[in-house]
Amino acid sequence: MNRIQKMAWWMAIWISASIIFAVIATHFAIGMPWSITGVLIGLAPAFFKKDKGKVTCDERGRFIYIKATLAGFVAAFLITGLACVLPLFIMGTDAMIPVGWLPGIFLAATLTFFFFQCVAILVQYGREPKGEKL
């Protein structure tokens, strides 16, 4: 398992755990400090350092990372689009979105991006290369 896979597992586990804790915290009406989630996700490169003198990423790994990043951006774009369009259909054209929703929309898009990027990395590394052209 290479460094990118380890980081993907780390981030996928922490994002999933933070979503579960947020749902529980919302159910019991207690606050959830989202900054903890950001710190734990951001620490992945510190825990999984680059190996000295070893090639950290080959062509296949780079190709997988690019495709995974694209998958994450598409998922985040869809979440952002839904967050912008659904209130129109639910509340009507004369309603306004509270400003307090905007950080939540941004957080949802960010977590969606990283989660789908991690899942795409793990799925692609799990497959055997079948004559893919780079």
The confidence score (pLDDT) of residue 8 equals 85
Q: Locate tokens 């062509």: which residue? A: 59
Q: Could you tell me the pLDDT band of residue 77, with boundaries at 50, 70 and 90?
A: very high
Closest CA to 5 of 71, 68, 75: 68
Round to whole Å and give the CA distance between 120 and 70.
9
Contacts 24+ apart (CB under 8 A), 66-70: 67/120, 67/124, 68/116, 68/117, 68/118, 68/120, 68/121, 68/124, 69/117
Q: Could you tell me the pLDDT band of residue 36, with boundaries at 50, 70 and 90?
A: low
Round to whole Å and give the CA distance between 57 and 36.
29
The confidence score (pLDDT) of residue 70 equals 96
Q: Is the pTM of this model over 0.75?
A: no
Tokens of 133: 């052209």
Per the prediction, the chain carries an average pLDDT of 78
Round to whole Å and give the CA distance between 127 and 104.
34
Q: Could you tell me the pLDDT band of residue 75, with boundaries at 50, 70 and 90?
A: very high
